[in-house]
Amino acid sequence: MSLEGADTQPREAVIELVSEAEASGRVDELYREIREAREGELEEDLSLSKLWLLYGNDADLLDIVWQHMDWTYNRGSLPFELKSKISLVVATVLECEGCQFFHESALSELGADAAEIDAISELEIAETGFDPAEEVVLRFSQKAATDPHATTDDDFLALRELGFSEREILEIIDCIALHVYTAYIQGISGIVYPGMSKETWTEPV
């Protein structure tokens, strides 16, 4: 997907965000849970991003999406770092600046190699010294995020030959699809737009 030619000027979010100060009841509890779960994983100003403040309008949806996100990173069978790299690939393909800031920060906090982070952010995966298995996964993720219909039997065979189980391949697909979803949510709602700065994305609500 390309956003070339899209409006790169900021616009107000089309749905109001629910700040931490305004949150009450179950939304307040979930905000606290998200912050506590991410303590030490991210820069503090990224742990409760505008994505979650958007979902603050609906406690049920906030809960569902948070539980899915938490499971994806913390309760699946694949490493947190690999899934963070997959997520950054998707963010880069979809030109979701907010998502990129988030996943670059997460990988930096993990101690991931800065050259690898830069390579993913530039989609120069094949030109950088990734582990061979990781390179296959990241190139698959790029292909799937660009066009889900472009993946082939050979792509899945390559994953199986690396030793990935059916469950692990499903985790990879789920991680890709989850971040396509969150990128679209942020783009449609106006909380992320092409060319936005990290300072704008993280400014308090």
Q: Is the pLDDT of residue 185 over 90?
A: yes
Q: Is 195 left (phi over 0), alpha (psi -120 to 50) or beta?
A: left
Amino acid at 2: S
Which is more confidently placed, 93 or 200? 93
- What is the pTM (predicted TM-score) of this model? 0.86
Which is more confidently placed, 138 or 2? 138
How far is residue 77's CA from residue 96's CA, in Å, rounded to a whole number?
26
Amino acid at 112: A
The string of DSSP letters for 53-94 reads HHHTT-HHHHHHHHHHHHHHHHTSSS-HHHHHHHHHHHHHHT
